[in-house]
Amino acid sequence: MTENILYPWKQETIINYTQRLLLSYKYWTGQSLLNIDGTPELMTQALWKAPFVVASHSMEETPILNYGNRQALYLWEMSWEQFTRTPSRETAKPSERKDRQLLLTQAKTQGYVSAHPGIRISSKGREFSISNAIIWNVLDENQQQCGQAATFQQWKYI
């Protein structure tokens, strides 16, 4: 395996995108996602190793996952390569996708939404409930939306 697959957080594109994730989270919520300061590389590594889930997708008509920290990959039972090729809708059970899409639309309009519960499904069919999630718009350097992200600390297999 290449270092980019084993350590995606070392890629320059991921370091830059992580900065967008962190700055956008603070912009919308007024809070810091990480309780550390440091270089972009240090912050990217800290987010990768965080004990909570962070995942995001692109803005195409069918959004594709473009970032997942180590905890997200573990929970959805995917490698980095699998994760970053997956349509984001596939992270939710089919019966949950309509509600999920409504929340994404609400976040797109408001900037972010919080306290989102739901049922998600891993790549191997393992279901888990999430609670207290926050979904926010990821902004680029020109304050244009370039993605949406979610974070949560609480989940339970069902």
Q: Which domains does the chain have, with CATH numbers?
A: 3-157 (3.30.450.20)
Please tell me the chain's helix, strand, coil percentages from 3-state DSSP, rounded to the nearest 5.
40, 30, 30
Q: Which amino acid is at 129?
A: S
Question: Where do the H-state alpha helices sit in the chain?
Answer: 3-6, 12-29, 40-49, 70-75, 80-83, 97-110
| pLDDT of 4 | 53
pLDDT category at 37 given cuts 50, 70, 90 is: confident
CA 85/CA 29 separation, integer angstroms: 28
Q: What is the pTM of this model?
A: 0.93
Residue corresponding to tokens 């519960």: 117
- Predicted confidence band at 1 (pLDDT cuts at 50, 70, 90)? very low
